[in-house]
Amino acid sequence: MKSYTIALEGSTYRGSVALLRDAQVVTERTLGGKAGGGEAGKRESGKAEPGRGDALMPAVAECLEETGIKSEEIARIVCGSGPGSFTSLRVAGSVAKGLAVGYGVDLFAVSSLLLTVTGAALDVAPGEYLSVLDAMRGEFYGARFTLRPDRTAVESAAMQLFTTDELVGVAERETETRIIGPGQALDFHPRAGGVAPMLKSIVAAGPVDLASWEPDYGRLAEAQVRWEAEHGRALPR
């Protein structure tokens, strides 16, 4: 019976992989260190250099080997869609597509900003959150979410860019809103295990088109920006 989901998250250097049975995390690996306290601090993968994209596939293999899951039991692949690190997201997206093709299953995408909130849900209280990720150039990607007691979350305001000063302003003016993300007061990274409480809604939203889907990079890679500025046209695909 196809009841297992492979979830991948690669929007930051601290990527992660999780194997879910229905909406429960069976096992999880983090790359580049622990993803946070409590439930978020799952076992680290030690077979590849921390934080590198080529650690994702060994981490998937570890999860499958540990549980003895057979290929015919994999129902779907879910991938964090960003925004975040261009290179890390590109690697995670490619691995996710490869797994979906290899297993002959659908690929689903979910916001990495959401996975920060739901991935930390056992360690933080329900309420209002501004989830942020580094956008470089002194800016942050941010989206607002309401975390519910059942660990699900709903987006209350779409993603936008924030400066450091603007984040300070939110913290000072909006005392009921907690800022969460790498390097913030609530220091949590997006986590593949955060797919679990959201799995039903992720599946209900439908799969992506494997041929055309790409992660939401948030903005172009620095190298691409420089190339297009120098040549005065879009970089050919």
Please write the tens of the pLDDT for every residue from 133-147.
999 889 999 999 999
Question: CA–CA distance from 16 to each of 43, 119, 125, 177 (Å)?
Answer: 10, 11, 23, 26
Q: Give 39's pLDDT tier (boundaries 50, 70, 90).
A: very low
Distance CA 112, CA 125 (A): 19
Question: Is the pLDDT reported for residue 228 higher than 90?
Answer: no
Query: Peptide bond before 83: cis, by omega within 30 degrees of 0?
Result: yes
- What per-residue confidence (pLDDT) applies to 232? 73
Mean pLDDT for the stretch of residues 3-14: 95
pLDDT > 70? residue 227: no
Domains of the chain: 4-113+189-218 (3.30.420.40)
